[in-house]
């Protein structure tokens, strides 16, 4: 059996078409986009075309797209500038956000003495919208930061509802949409969101590139200073090949979205059925087995395994060529457990192994069968 990759929530395989497009740009378009000669103008043209493509897919103006090194930088840009430059004194977030948000708001609290309020969650980790409304009504100069799709359990936020709540309460709304853009269509004329973070490598594009959506006339200021690239929002010579790769990947993701969503949904459905059939007592964390409340690309499962075997399960799977995760890839090397699962699981369930399997168009039912057989043999 060839190696099996079930960790697309961490990063995705790059589409061959994207690699071909990036290779063409690297070979033929090596000018600096800030240069005024023909080589520079050519590079600039590629970037601006990519910006227009991304903007059209989200139904926004090209001037509202700021290319970054990825989702983490885009999160930091929005959160830091909102506090530093826009007068935000209160941030409402949740305890199961990505660390790119959690650690950033905690640092802002230390530096700027802002107030952080954590919205209540239900037993499956979904936002309590009534409590969010109460927090919004009780605060001024507020920014809400809530992710659209949770990267560990796949829970989906009603992003339109939250955006409308923020707007009616004169609060800013920022969302980390790293796990949803490319997998769900978002019309930002219909969703009054202010800031959004996106990463190219989550939808079969290259690593090291993403973008921030910054609503026009927001007043957001740069995180990185230097040149006047990205209309003054983000200094530094643009990685033209990465930006074009992101454009191509996002375009292809949306062109093939319905077909690929249907296929991946059948894979996840099959995986759930096989786990339930072969492992009585298996659990699914958050709402990851509920297709209405969780994304079709992520399944987070809690396996009925003795604690001593649980310790090395991930290692055993890796030895068999199976790649999955016990949580966010950004936590690798950390001895701490998942901060997401710690909010929604009992102490007993936290002692059991929870694995995140995340899917893409490149996976097959044969791979799922292999994973099931390996798990059966080990357990």
Return d(Cα 25, Cα 13) in angstroms, integer.
Answer: 20
- Tokens for 326, please give them: 């016990």
Q: Which residues are catalytic?
A: 330
């Amino acid at each position: 059996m060839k190696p099996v990759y079930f960790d697309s929530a961490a990063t995705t395989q790059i589409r061959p078409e994207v690699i071909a497009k990036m290779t063409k740009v690297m070979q033929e378009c090596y000018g600096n986009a800030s240069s005024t000669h023909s080589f520079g103008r050519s590079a600039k043209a590629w970037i601006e075309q990519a910006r227009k493509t991304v903007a059209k897919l989200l139904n926004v103006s090209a001037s509202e797209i700021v290319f970054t090194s990825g989702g983490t930088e885009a999160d930091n840009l929005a959160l830091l500038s909102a506090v530093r430059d826009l007068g935000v004194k209160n941030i409402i977030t949740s305890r199961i956000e990505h660390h790119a948000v959690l650690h950033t708001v905690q640092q802002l609290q230390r530096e700027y003495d802002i107030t952080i309020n954590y919205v209540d969650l239900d037993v499956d980790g979904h936002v309590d919208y009534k409590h969010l409304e109460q927090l919004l009504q009780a605060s001024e100069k507020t920014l809400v930061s809530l992710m659209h799709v949770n990267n560990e359990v796949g829970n989906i936020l009603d992003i339109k509802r939250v955006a409308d709540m923020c707007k009616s309460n004169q609060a800013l709304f920022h969302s980390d949409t790293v796990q949803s853009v490319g997998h769900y269509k978002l019309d930002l004329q219909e969703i009054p969101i202010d800031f959004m973070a996106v990463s190219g490598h989550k939808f079969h594009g290259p690593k090291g590139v993403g973008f921030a959506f910054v609503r026009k006339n927001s007043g957001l200021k740069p995180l990185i200073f230097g040149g006047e690239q990205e209309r003054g929002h983000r200094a530094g010579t643009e990685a033209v090949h990465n930006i074009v790769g992101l454009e191509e990947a996002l375009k292809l993701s949306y062109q093939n979205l319905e077909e690929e969503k249907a296929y991946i949904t059948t894979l996840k459905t099959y995986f759930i059925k096989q786990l339930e059939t072969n492992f009585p007592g298996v659990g699914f964390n958050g709402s990851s087995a509920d297709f209405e409340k969780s994304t079709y690309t992520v399944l987070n499962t809690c396996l009925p395994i003795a604690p001593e075997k649980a310790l090395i399960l991930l290692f055993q799977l890796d030895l068999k060529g199976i790649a999955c995760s016990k949580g966010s890839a950004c936590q690798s090397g950390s001895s701490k457990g998942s901060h997401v699962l710690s909010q929604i699981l009992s102490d007993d369930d936290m002692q059991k192994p929870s694995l995140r399997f995340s899917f893409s168009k490149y996976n097959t039912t044969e791979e799922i069968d292999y994973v099931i057989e390996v798990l059966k043999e080990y357990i």
